[in-house]
Chains A and B, each alone.
Chain A
Amino acid sequence: MTTYTVYKEQLPGLFEKWSESYALYVPAKLREGFYDLVPWKRDLEIAWDFDVAYNSPKRFLFPPREALITFNRKTCEAEPVFEAPPQILFGVHPYDVKAINQLDQLLETGSPDQNYVRRRAATVVMGYEPLTVSPTAFWASVGAASAAHGYDLYWTKIGPAAFTVEVGSARGEELLSMCGPLVPSTAGDKEGARRAKARVLFKARHNGLRYNWEETPRLLSKSWDSPLWRRYSQMCLACGSCNLVCPTCYCFDIREEADDQLEEGVRYREWDGCMLESFAKVAGNHNFRPKAQDRYRHRYFRKGKYIYDKIGELGCVGCGRCVRACTAGIANPLKVFNELWEETAHEH
């Protein structure tokens, strides 16, 4: 695909134009050390060197709470509710692009999640090569340093005021050309992008799996009875933070509420998580994962094996968000997988 070179001074014009027809989100600093994608406004300072967006991009495609149907109790009629505002996510790091690709695969296959599919179609993803690496991240070691697809445009900062922009879709190219003709990148600019990637990969080496990530499913198969699950899960608060901040977790619960006239009502879904005590509670109050240990182990099997068995990738893209969010200090796929690797060292 084509790569263009774009200069910083062109951005305000592009942002202005895009925001006429899209909700535009860009990376900004929330407070020292904390960044997030926030609604763009004129004169907002873009945090080009953000290490990780505090909240994962899934909230734009699969919001924490979303109406699914409205119903009428008298006529017994129901109508689906679809909301899909056109939006541009500018500045999505490659591991988060990979996470979106996973959601696409998992939610669009089989019986497609119509609410997700519609929001996804209305969302433009503009990938962005990171300049820095969050202290808890390990994406480089789980195969999530680059995304081969899933973006409309992919931006790499190659100098103080210049970017290369790889085109990923016709829609992306069209958006990029809204403020005049585009200049294809020179070989030198492309080399600049390659070097930028090499630099950040070098920085990402500080944290990583001690083995090839593709071994993880096999490693877990051997670790069902490891004492590690109990050791760590004793500290688990069953708060679900690790699930909710994860860009690839997509569980939800469904509830209903009637209106104040008790005539109509809405059925909505809300984020749920397998670490919550009542997650596996079914009819008759039976809980098929009653112990913290069962839930804790389940989450790592999900990340390291079950998702892999479905799509050939780890369910963890190494963003490090759960590591940071866990107040108990036990949510940490990198540490867990590495320790299981040590435990089974005599076998490999």
Chain B
Amino acid sequence: MAKPKIAFFDFAGCEGDQLQIANLEERLLDILGHVEVVSFREVATGHSDDYDVAFVEGSITRPEDEIRLKEIRKNAKVLVALGACAAIGGINCLKNFLAENVYREEVYGGQARWFSTYAARPLKSVVKVDAEIPGCPIDPTEFARITKELLLGRSPWIPDFPVCVECKQAGNVCRYEMGRMCLGIITRAGCKAACVSQGAHCWGCRGLVPGANLDAARIVMDRPGTSRKAIQDLLRFFLGDTGAAL
């Protein structure tokens, strides 16, 4: 069987996810040994439109992005959203809460009218996405696992439960018991509760868990010592494209 051809693409984002993949180093050689990479800017130059799997990073922020993304969708058998920006819109969606003239001026200054831009959105708002590798940045071990599952013809699995599960597995003291906020209660697991284990709290970078109880979460977060503003800011940080952000 011919090796499947894979390609990487990016839209509005920092290419941090492709960098995470490059960081797999020796493991990358083994995994990419099963495929033919036709386009990967972080590692090699060159490009081709002949590919089976497209890993797409970044969110859609301009009307002309849609045309390019639909083209990629047409060429690819499998389209994988790579990272928070592609999978859930991510921090790019922060601008959706500002008036257009405000963010245009902020980003492009005097040249604002030369650039086209519209509300930031995840890939799935424009095309069908076959698999998501969420996170900001992605967890390289999850990328490796999902790629292998695709290669083996299995349907790729990502956790469908909240970060709290992995946080309890790690044995962390819950942030709420320390009088702090945390979005682990509504965020999809898969990062091994990385931020909590490192002493911070969950920001929601992996997107909402299916069936997230947002009403309950708002009540849980609204405790003495936290302001409504702080709750809103946290919910908008990564989850701007979801029903969580009001």
**Chain A residues in the interface with B (C-beta under 8 A):** 30-31, 34, 36, 54-55, 59, 64-65, 234-241, 244-245, 255, 257-258, 260-262, 270-271, 273, 276-278, 292, 324-325, 327-328
Supposing A237-B186, A258-B148 touch, asked if A271 and B169 sit within 8 A by C-beta, the answer is yes
Q: Does B131 contact A (CB under 8 A)?
A: no
Residues of A within 8 A of B173 (CB): 30-31, 34, 54
Q: Does B118 contact A (CB under 8 A)?
A: no
State which of B157, B160, B213 has its C-beta within 8 Å of the C-beta of A237.
B213
Q: Once bound together, how far apart are the Cα atoms of A262 and B186, in whole Å? A: 34
| Total inter-chain residue pairs, C-beta < 8 Å | 93
Residues of B within 8 A of A237 (CB): 162, 164, 185-186, 212-213, 216-217, 220
Q: Does B106 contact A (CB under 8 A)?
A: no
Query: Does B27 lie within 8 Å of A260, measured CB to CB?
Result: yes
Residues of B within 8 A of A278 (CB): 160-161, 210
Supposing A236-B213, A278-B161 touch, asked if A328 and B220 sit within 8 A by C-beta, the answer is yes
Query: Does B169 lie within 8 Å of A327, measured CB to CB?
Result: no
Q: Once bound together, how far apart are the Cα atoms of A273 and B184, in whole Å? A: 16
Residues of A within 8 A of B144 (CB): 260
Q: Does B211 contact A (CB under 8 A)?
A: yes
A-contacting residues, B172-190, CB 8 Å: 173-174, 176-177, 184-186
Query: Does B165 lie within 8 Å of A271, measured CB to CB?
Result: yes
Query: Does A325 lie within 8 Å of B174, measured CB to CB?
Result: yes
Query: Does B165 lie within 8 Å of A276, measured CB to CB?
Result: yes
Supposing A237-B213, A240-B168, A325-B168 touch, asked if A258 and B161 sit within 8 A by C-beta, the answer is no
State which of B151, B152, B162 has its C-beta within 8 Å of the C-beta of A239.
B162
Query: Does A65 lie within 8 Å of B169, measured CB to CB?
Result: yes
Residues of B within 8 A of A239 (CB): 161-162, 164-165, 184-185
Q: Does B64 contact A (CB under 8 A)?
A: no
Chain B residue nearest to A260 (CB atoms) is: B30
Q: Once bound together, how far apart are the Cα atoms of A240 and B159, in whole Å? A: 13
Q: How many Å from the CB of A84 to the closest CB on chain B?
A: 20
Chain B residue nearest to A234 (CB atoms) is: B216
Q: B96-139 CB contact bits vs A (8 Å, 1 = yes)? A: 00000000000000000000000000000000000000000000
Q: Does B171 contact A (CB under 8 A)?
A: yes
**Chain B residues in the interface with A (C-beta under 8 A):** 27, 30-31, 34, 144-145, 148, 151-152, 157, 160-162, 164-165, 168-171, 173-174, 176-177, 184-186, 210-213, 216-217, 219-220
Query: Does A327 lie within 8 Å of B160, measured CB to CB?
Result: no
Query: Does A255 lie within 8 Å of B217, measured CB to CB?
Result: no
Q: How many Å from the CB of A136 to the closest CB on chain B?
A: 11
Q: How many Å from the CB of A281 to the closest CB on chain B?
A: 9
Supposing A54-B173, A277-B161, A278-B161 touch, asked if A241 and B168 sit within 8 A by C-beta, the answer is yes
Query: Does A260 lie within 8 Å of B31, measured CB to CB?
Result: yes
Q: Once bound together, how far apart are the Cα atoms of A270 and B169, in whole Å? A: 9
Q: Once bound together, how far apart are the Cα atoms of A318 and B242, in whole Å? A: 39
Residues of B within 8 A of A324 (CB): 177
CB pairs A–B below 8 angstroms (19 shown): A54-B173, A55-B171, A59-B171, A64-B170, A65-B169, A235-B216, A236-B213, A238-B161, A238-B211, A240-B162, A240-B164, A241-B168, A244-B165, A244-B168, A276-B165, A277-B211, A278-B161, A328-B216, A328-B220
Query: Does B145 lie within 8 Å of A327, measured CB to CB?
Result: no
Query: Does B161 lie within 8 Å of A54, measured CB to CB?
Result: no
Residues of B within 8 A of A64 (CB): 168-170
Query: Does A245 lie within 8 Å of B168, measured CB to CB?
Result: yes
State which of B148, B162, B176 has its C-beta within 8 Å of the C-beta of A238.
B162
Supposing A255-B157, A260-B27, A261-B30 touch, asked if A327 and B165 sit within 8 A by C-beta, the answer is no
Q: Once bound together, how far apart are the Cα atoms of A33 and B144, in whole Å? A: 40
Residues of A within 8 A of B170 (CB): 64
Residues of B within 8 A of A276 (CB): 161, 165
Q: How many Å from the CB of A296 to the closest CB on chain B?
A: 12
Query: Does B176 lie within 8 Å of A327, measured CB to CB?
Result: yes
Q: How many Å from the CB of A280 to the closest CB on chain B?
A: 13
Residues of B within 8 A of A258 (CB): 148, 152
Residues of B within 8 A of A235 (CB): 213, 216, 219-220
Query: Does B145 lie within 8 Å of A257, measured CB to CB?
Result: yes
State which of B151, B160, B165, B216 has its C-beta within 8 Å of the C-beta of A273.
B165
Q: How many Å from the CB of B17 to the closest CB on chain A?
A: 19
Chain B residue nearest to A258 (CB atoms) is: B148
Residues of B within 8 A of A262 (CB): 34, 148, 151-152
Chain B residue nearest to A277 (CB atoms) is: B211
Chain A residue nearest to B29 (CB atoms) is: A260
Q: Once bound together, how far apart are the Cα atoms of A182 and B152, in whole Å? A: 62
Residues of A within 8 A of B164 (CB): 237, 239-241, 244
Chain B residue nearest to A245 (CB atoms) is: B168
Residues of B within 8 A of A261 (CB): 30
